[in-house]
Amino acid sequence: MIPSKKKIDELKELVKRDFGVEWTDQEASDEAFNLLNFYDALGKFAMEDIQKYIDTGGEPSFAGPDYDKWLAEQAEIVKNIQADRKEVSKSKKRKG
């Protein structure tokens, strides 16, 4: 994913305002790209944990009760989305 010029400029302003550091356009672009990739990786790791939680029928993680509670909440959301997708797919097959 490539950050937009607008978002890069916003990041430059934020870093200058909050940390007193002025980045060049290239530095801001590089850091924005790194941040996006970092959060993309975190999202993928979380999704893997959520899917594992669903696949194992709610087996607890080793991260602790707060994370398990979060996993259960997210798993419920994902299961609902998956069920909705199946229903839409069935509906399209019936029409087509």
Q: Phi first, then psi: give them for residue 57, nearest 5 degrees.
A: 75, 30
The domain total for the chain is 1
pTM for the model: 0.61
Range of the domain at 44: 5-95
Q: pLDDT tens across 55-92, in order?
A: 988 887 778 889 889 999 999 999 999 889 888 888 88
Long-range contacts of 38-43 (CB under 8 A, 24+ apart): 40/1
**Whole-number Å distance between alpha carbons of 23 and 3:** 16
